[in-house]
Amino acid sequence: MSIIDRLLNIDSRIIYLLLFLALAFPILYPVVLPMEVQQYSLTAFEFVDDIPDGSYVLFDGGNTAATYPQGGPGMIVNIVHLLRKNCKVVIFSTSVECVPFNQQAIDDALEKLSSDVSAENGVNWVNLGYIGGGGESAVAAFVNDIRSVLEADYFGTPINDLPIMEGVNDASDFAAVMWWGGSQGSIPWGIRQIVEPFGVPMTGQCTTNEVPNYSPYISSGQLQGLIGGVRGSAEYEYLLNLPGPALGQAMATNFGGLLWMIAVVLGNAFYLIKRARGEE
C-alpha cells in the first residue's frame, strides 16, 4: 500500500487525537500569533489607555456563570490595565449573581500585577457589591447619591471607612465608566443614567450576539467602543500583551480550523493524484 493510500485510509481516531491536541495546547499554553483586532475592541482599548493616570473609574460588573467564560478574561485584563495606570477602580453590580464573579476577576487581576503596582483593597480598588433593588432605577439612585444606596462594601467595611471613597458621592466624581454588561442588556442603563446626565464617557462589554444592538450607541458617540464576547476579550488580552484564557480559546479555534483545512486540502489532493494515475 502506497503512502497516499495509507493517509487516505488513516484511522479516524488519529485525526480526532490531532484535533484534540490542536484545541487543547493553545488553551493550556496560549500561543500569541498576529491577529486582526476589530475596530470596536481597539476603540475600547484606546479609550481606557487614554484615561488620565490616577483617575477614578466606575465599573459595573454584570457577568454571570453563563457569560463569565466570555467576558471574565477581558474583565480581568481591563482591571489590570486600570490599576497599572494607578486608577481608582470602584466596582458594583446590579445582580446578586454577578458579585462573586466580580471579586474573582479582581483576585485574578491582582495575581497578574507586578509587585510595583499599588493594588490595595479600599485604597486602589473597592468591590461595593450588589445595589439593592437592581435594575435601572437602582443605578439611577446609586449614581446620584452612592451613600443613599450602599452603607458598606462587599466585605462589610463601611463606605465612610474606605479611603478610596473619600469625597466620592456621585457619578460626577468619576472620569470614566466601564460597563461589563454580559448578557443583561444593561448597557443602555449606563448611557441613560450616567453618560447623558453627567457627561461621563463610557465603554462596555456584552456577549457576542448582543454587539449589533449597541452599534447605534457607538455611532452616536455615546459608547466608546465595545468588547464583544470572547473574541473581544481575546483582543483585549492581545492588545495589553497579557495572554490568558480568551486568547487561548481564540487561538484554539484558529488551530482547529487550520488542521481541518489541511486535512481537506490533502484529502482532495491525494484523491486527484490517484485519479490522475487511474487508481480510483
Q: Look up residue 36 and give its DSSP letter.
A: P
Residue pLDDT, tens place only, 161-200: 999 999 999 999 999 999 999 888 899 999 999 999 999 9
Structural domain spans, the chain: 3-28+258-276, 39-251
Task: Calculate what percentage of the chain has a pLDDT beyond 70.
Answer: 99
Beta bridge partners of 127: 91
The answer to whether 270 and 4 have CB atoms below 8 angstroms apart is yes
The answer to whether 193 and 170 have CB atoms below 8 angstroms apart is no
Confidence of residue 33 (pLDDT cuts 50, 70, 90): confident
Sequence length of the chain is: 280
Residue pLDDT, tens place only, 42-90: 999 999 999 999 999 999 999 999 999 989 999 999 999 999 999 999 9
132 vs 83, higher pLDDT: 83
**pLDDT given at position 116:** 94
Residue pLDDT, tens place only, 80-129: 999 999 999 999 999 999 999 999 999 999 999 999 999 999 999 999 99
| Residue 62 DSSP SS3 | coil
**pLDDT given at position 3:** 83
Q: Please name the helix (run of DSSP H) or strand (run of DSSP E) that holds residue 173, with its range, or none.
A: none
Residue pLDDT, tens place only, 1-21: 678 778 778 888 998 999 999
Beta bridge partners of 204: 179, 226
**pLDDT given at position 6:** 81
When pLDDT is averaged across residues 213-221 and rounded to a whole number, the result is 96
Which pTM value belongs to this model? 0.87
Mean pLDDT (the chain, rounded): 93
CATH 3.40.50 matches 39-251: yes
When pLDDT is averaged across residues 24-46 and rounded to a whole number, the result is 89
